[in-house]
């Protein structure tokens, strides 16, 4: 080795003052096996003492590739040897120097021989922790071993000049073993432990608090291909945020194990097997190929998901995806198994089995329990495997649907029911003869539905909706449902048989039915309701006779009427008994402020319990929050609501043709009525 | 004669009709009404101010003069337009924004979010938001901004001028900041953030 020194200059300095008080040998530089040693001085000190010390100092030691970013400076060795082509330094001290910073002095040892060299720096106190670094080189081969204990994360960030992630708390231990040939890394073993780490990226989209984790990475290069395996354990108590997911690791540690290969040239990572497990909440395992040449892209993946705790799964992994969407507030409980495949970053096939699943909604739009079934879907348009879903309990809004099962086919952009189904509904059935849905690119989806309502109990419906109990039934034929301009429209008609008469609902349509602000459109035809039955139900005061009418162009926004044209009155051909009780007259007449009540109470009319009438009628054209009122007859200054018949004759006339809708509702809620009563 | 000249000058001044294509004043009033309603601050009922304190003969003279001027400079005349803020879309958006305000309010107050100079919201201190709330705040801001943009377009559409959406947005931009509650952060037109 020595004969390879490029420049060797011997300088012998003999002190003349104290007769060989010191002896010094200077070598400009030594270059061997890519190690470069500069400004070497060997000095004999304390030569006057019986035990002299020979000290080696080196101004700078430049390391071979791939460590050539590092150098050691201000080296001093009290124990060294320089002979037989070998430079050996033990019990030395040195400072580690990089282009960006210089460490304090640490323990140092060096061994440079003809074809090999090694250097060790230990007890290096940087970043609040202790580091030890060993590098060895033998011909073209090298290996490196670094251990670090209790490195403060803040200092570590400064040391690494990491700008993308700001570390605020915690400390780290790590151990790195790496080996290679020339400038190529051949193997890496990295064990890392973070303790109570806290920090986040500049944009806040990745963050951690109280993160304690262990990570173990092993990677070997073979014929241009890296084989790797990785184990990660996140311990209890960590809080993690990776937009949009927030994970409170809580008492259920997270495990992520994977192995595979890495093709640096193709910018491709293969995961031959991977497992992500978050306690009992979820386990996801499978294989994948990921490409990162341009954007991050899952080229292919086959994954299996299993959850015994869908409640926690939906809280941790689904809720973030549902925020500020129509799904917000919906959560699941129960068990789920799903196998799915991804091709070119898109779902290509899915088989999901749900077992005793419950669906809950904080907005109470839907609730289900005992949901069991298998959903099979593929993006293949020839896919034919059926899916099914059954439930023990289902509630849509306040309306319960009985236990039922649906068999259907889902493929590509389509859902189609395979068999006719009859869903028990309020004592009757909702029959689904046909149902299909198909998404169209750049267009609104196509929807087709054919079915009918059969003998749905009005009593059960009124109970479910917390109305005054009504008796009757609802039938309807819905031959077609369309979805256009974000509006769901039903053809056909729903017929409610109630109070010995009939209410027919047609032109039913809705937009945003399950949103916070649903809009509903409809037309109603009311025919021959028995007023005696109707008024008994509402304790309005007895009225006998029939009632017919209509509500046209009804628009409800958020279940409140916005506009309509409505008329309710005695039908022309009604030959039934027409009697109205004092209470009903008072209730109709009291809208104006109660004068009629006083009049009826004080006059001789108080001896009559009922009065005859010829016609009753009241209409409203609601627009811009104002109801334009109308009655059976127009008067010069008002409109007749009750036209008397027989003696004593009683007429109720309204004098205010325009009534604010809110005011009208307030009056009706107090069961109050019109402006004046004229008694003849 | 001097008095008559002065009177004619006064009449001419009193009768000038300004041609306003975009009803900026009405838009500001509408913006205030909507914002206060969303933020549950009922706008103060202001009695409509009399348009002029002219006597009947002055009004008659004005009309006559205006009709005469119409024949000459008809293109310069336009009525001071009002701005409609009532349509199904607007009602739906206002309802959604009113519901969302309850969730936005504590984030305004904590300084996590602020009103940009363009009237849209921004998460201005994401690092300060607890991790469990971070996604919700981000989504709230995104949803609110989407609704604000849709509201401007819906108002423009309701007034038969879809092209007014940009001007309505500009009008609202200032009004959101003006209606900010104490402690809220807003950005001035020169990009500086200030706390009300």
Residues 6 or more apart whose CB falls under 8 angstroms from that of A529 comprise A498, A499, A500, A501, A503, A546, A547, A548
Beta-bridge mates of residue A275: A257, A285
Q: Where are the domains of chain A?
A: 1-121, 427-497, 499-679
Min mean pLDDT across A410-424, A571-585, A602-616 is at A602-616
pLDDT of residue A671: 58
Edge-to-edge strand order for the sheet containing B113-115? Answer: B121-123, B113-115, B185-187, B193-195
Whether the full predicted model's pTM is greater than 0.90, yes or no, is no
Per-residue pLDDT band for A605 (boundaries 50, 70, 90) equals low
pLDDT at B1 over 80: no
Gap from B3 CA to chain A (nearest CA, Å): 50
How many A×B Cβ pairs under 8 Å? Answer: 54
Q: Which of A239, A517, A555 is the closest to B131 by Cβ?
A: A239
Considering only residues A173 and A99, tell me which one the structure prediction assigns the higher pLDDT: A173
Instruction: List the single best residue of B84, B93, B94, B127 to mutate versus A (max A Cβ within 10 A).
Output: B127
pLDDT at A532 over 80: yes
pLDDT of residue A598: 53
Contacts of B124 in chain A (CB under 8 A): none
Q: Which of A204, A246, A558 is the closest to B127 by Cβ?
A: A204
According to the per-residue pLDDT averaged within each range, which of A121-125, A214-218, A514-518 is highest?
A214-218
Considering only residues A588 and A593, tell me which one the structure prediction assigns the higher pLDDT: A588
pLDDT digits (tens, 9 = 90+) for A393-426: 999 989 999 999 999 999 998 999 999 999 999 9
pLDDT at A573 over 80: yes
Report CB contact under 8 Å: B135, A244. yes
b/e per residue A471-507 (b: at least 16 CB within 10 A)? ebbbbbebeebbbeeeebbbbbbbbbebbebbbebeb
Closest B-chain CA to A517: B92
For chain A, list residues whose CB is within 8 angstroms of any CB belonging to chain B.
200, 203-204, 207, 209, 239-241, 243-246, 248, 320, 323-324, 512, 516-517, 519, 555, 557-558, 562, 624
pLDDT of residue A69: 78
Closest B-chain CA to A317: B135
Tell whether B146 is within 8 A of chain A (Cβ).
Answer: no
Integer CA distances (angstroms), A557 to A482, B8, B87, B92, in order: 20, 54, 11, 8
The whole-number average pLDDT for the span A99-107 is: 81
Q: How far, in Å, CA of A484 to CA of A486, rounded?
A: 5
pLDDT digits (tens, 9 = 90+) for A541-564: 889 999 999 999 999 998 889 999
Per-residue pLDDT band for A348 (boundaries 50, 70, 90) equals very high
Residues 6 or more apart whose CB falls under 8 angstroms from that of A390 comprise A371, A372, A373, A403, A404, A405, A406
E strand map for A544-665: 546-557, 560-569, 579-581, 610-623, 626-631, 633-634, 639-644, 650-654, 658-660
Report CB contact under 8 Å: B129, A558. no
Q: How far, in Å, CA of B154 to CA of A370, rounded?
A: 43
Nearest partner of A534 among A576, A579, A498, A505, judged by Cα: A498
Helix (H) or strand (E) holding A272: strand A268-278
pLDDT digits (tens, 9 = 90+) for A235-271: 988 999 999 999 988 888 999 999 999 998 889 999 9
pLDDT digits (tens, 9 = 90+) for B39-72: 975 544 443 333 333 344 444 443 444 444 343 3
Decide: helix, strand or coil at residue A226: strand
Min mean pLDDT across A124-133, A604-613, B141-150, B170-179 is at A604-613
Contacts of B99 in chain A (CB under 8 A): 516
Residues 6 or more apart whose CB falls under 8 angstroms from that of A575 comprise none
pLDDT of residue A678: 45
Mean pLDDT of all residues in chain A? 85
Closest B-chain CA to A166: B127
Report CB contact under 8 Å: B138, A246. no
pLDDT of residue A236: 87
Q: How far, in Å, CA of A664 to CA of A343, rounded?
A: 61
Gap from A398 CA to chain B (nearest CA, Å): 22
ipTM value greater than 0.90: no
Per-residue pLDDT band for A54 (boundaries 50, 70, 90) equals confident
Integer CA distances (angstroms), B178 to B119, B121, B173, B188, in order: 10, 14, 9, 11
The Cβ-side half-sphere exposure at A431, using a 13 Å CA radius, reads: 14
The whole-number average pLDDT for the span A309-325 is: 91
Report CB contact under 8 Å: B88, A207. no
Tell whether omega for the bond before A66 is within 30 degrees of 0, i.e. cis. yes
Residues 6 or more apart whose CB falls under 8 angstroms from that of A382 comprise A411
Nearest partner of A398 among A428, A365, A370, judged by Cα: A365
pLDDT digits (tens, 9 = 90+) for A82-93: 777 788 888 888
pLDDT at A489 over 50: yes
Residues 6 or more apart whose CB falls under 8 angstroms from that of B22 comprise B161, B164, B167
Q: How far, in Å, CA of A384 to CA of B46, rounded?
A: 67
Cα-to-chain-centroid distance, residue A597: 60
Helix (H) or strand (E) holding A460: helix A458-464
Tell whether B76 is within 8 A of chain A (Cβ).
Answer: no
Tell whether B150 is within 8 A of chain A (Cβ).
Answer: no
Report CB contact under 8 Å: B135, A246. yes
Report CB contact under 8 Å: A241, B134. yes
Q: Residue A557 in contact with residue A590, Cβ under 8 Å?
A: no
Q: Where are the domains of chain B?
A: 88-195
Mean pLDDT of all residues in chain B? 77
Nearest partner of A325 among A511, A491, A74, A515, judged by Cα: A515
Q: Residue A534 in contact with residue A527, Cβ under 8 Å?
A: no
């Amino acid at each position: 080795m020595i004969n390879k020194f490029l420049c060797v200059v011997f300088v012998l300095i003999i002190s003349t003052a104290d007769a060989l008080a010191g002896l010094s040998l200077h070598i400009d530089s030594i270059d061997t096996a890519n190690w470069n040693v500069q400004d070497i001085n060997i000095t004999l000190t304390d030569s006057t003492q019986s035990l002299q010390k020979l000290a080696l100092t080196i101004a700078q030691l430049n390391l071979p590739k791939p460590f050539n970013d590092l150098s050691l400076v201000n080296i001093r060795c009290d124990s060294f040897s320089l002979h037989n082509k070998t430079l050996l330094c033990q019990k030395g001290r040195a400072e580690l120097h990089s282009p960006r910073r210089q460490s304090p002095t640490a323990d140092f040892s060096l061994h440079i021989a003809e074809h090999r060299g090694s250097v060790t720096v230990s007890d290096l106190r940087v970043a609040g922790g202790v580091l030890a670094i060993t590098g060895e080189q033998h011909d073209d081969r090298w290996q490196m071993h670094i251990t670090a204990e209790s490195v403060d994360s803040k200092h570590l960030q400064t040391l690494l000049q990491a700008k993308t992630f700001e570390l605020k708390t915690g400390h780290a231990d790590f151990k790195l073993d790496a080996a290679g040939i020339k400038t190529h890394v051949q193997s890496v073993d990295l064990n890392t432990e973070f303790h109570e780490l806290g920090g986040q990226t500049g944009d806040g989209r990745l963050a951690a608090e109280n993160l304690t984790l262990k990570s173990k990475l092993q990677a070997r290069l073979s014929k241009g291909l890296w084989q790797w395996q990785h184990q990660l354990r996140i311990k209890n108590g960590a809080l993690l945020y990776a937009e949009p997911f927030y994970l409170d690791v809580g008492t259920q540690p997270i495990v992520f194990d994977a192995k595979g290969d890495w093709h640096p040239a193709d910018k491709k990572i293969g995961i031959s097997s991977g497992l992500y497990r978050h306690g009992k909440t979820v386990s996801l395992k499978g294989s994948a190929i990921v490409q990162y040449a341009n954007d991050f892209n899952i080229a292919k993946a086959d994954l299996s998901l299993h959850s015994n705790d869908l409640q926690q799964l939906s809280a941790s992994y689904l809720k973030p995806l549902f925020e500020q969407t129509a799904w917000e507030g919906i959560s699941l409980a129960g068990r789920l198994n799903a196998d799915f495949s991804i091709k070119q970053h898109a779902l290509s096939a899915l088989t999901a089995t749900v077992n005793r699943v419950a669906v809950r909604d904080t907005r109470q739009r839907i609730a289900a329990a005992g949901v069991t079934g298998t959903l099979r879907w593929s993006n293949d348009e020839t896919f034919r495997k059926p899916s099914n879903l059954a439930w023990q309990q289902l509630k849509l809004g306040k309306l319960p649907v009985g236990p039922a099962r649906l068999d259907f086919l889902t493929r590509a952009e389509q859902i189609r029911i395979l068999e006719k189904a009859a869903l028990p509904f309020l004592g009757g059935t909702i029959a689904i003869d046909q149902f299909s849905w198909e998404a169209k690119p750049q267009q609104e989806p196509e929807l087709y539905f054919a079915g009918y309502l059969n003998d749905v109990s009005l009593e059960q419906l009124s109970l479910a909706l917390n109305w005054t109990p009504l008796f009757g039934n609802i039938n309807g034929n819905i031959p077609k449902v369309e979805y256009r301009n974000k509006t769901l429209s039903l053809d056909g008609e729903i017929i409610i048989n109630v109070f010995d008469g009939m209410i027919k609902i047609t032109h039913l349509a809705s937009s945003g039915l399950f949103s916070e602000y649903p809009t509903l459109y409809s037309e109603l035809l009311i025919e021959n309701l028995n007023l005696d039955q109707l008024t008994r139900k509402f304790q309005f005061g007895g009225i006998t006779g029939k009632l017919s009418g209509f509500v046209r162009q009804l628009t409800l926004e958020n279940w409140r009427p916005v506009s309509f044209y409505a008329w309710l009155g005695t039908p022309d051909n009604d030959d039934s008994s027409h009697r109205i009780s004092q209470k009903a007259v008072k209730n109709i007449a009291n809208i104006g402020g109660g004068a009629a009540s006083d009049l009826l109470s004080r006059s001789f009319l108080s001896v009559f319990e009922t009065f005859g009438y010829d016609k009753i009628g009241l209409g409203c054209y609601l627009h811009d929050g104002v109801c334009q009122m109308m009655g059976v007859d127009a008067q010069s200054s008002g409109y007749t609501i009750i036209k008397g018949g027989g003696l004593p004759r009683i007429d109720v006339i309204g004098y205010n043709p325009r009534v604010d809708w809110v005011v009208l509702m307030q009056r009706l809620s107090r069961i109050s009525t019109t402006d004046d009563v004229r008694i003849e | 004669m001097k008095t008559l000249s002065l009177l004619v000058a006064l009449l001419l001044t009193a009768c000038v009709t300004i041609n306003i294509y975009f009803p900026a004043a009405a838009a500001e009033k509408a913006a205030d009404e909507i914002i206060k309603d969303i933020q549950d601050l009922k706008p103060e009922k202001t009695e409509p101010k009399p348009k002029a304190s002219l006597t009947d003969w002055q009004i008659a003279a004005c009309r006559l003069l205006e009709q005469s001027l119409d024949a000459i400079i008809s293109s310069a005349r336009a009525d001071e337009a009002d701005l409609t803020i009532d349509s199904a879309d607007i009602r739906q958006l206002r309802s959604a924004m009113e519901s969302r305000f309850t969730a936005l309010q504590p984030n305004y107050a904590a300084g996590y979010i602020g009103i940009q100079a363009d009237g849209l919201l921004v998460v201005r201190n994401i690092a300060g938001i607890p991790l469990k709330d971070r996604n919700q705040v981000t989504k709230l801001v995104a949803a609110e901004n989407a609704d604000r943009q849709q509201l401007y377009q819906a108002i423009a559409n309701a007034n038969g001028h879809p092209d007014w959406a940009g001007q309505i947005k500009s009008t609202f931009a200032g009004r959101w900041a003006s209606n900010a509650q104490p402690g809220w952060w807003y950005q001035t037109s020169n990009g500086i953030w200030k706390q009300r």
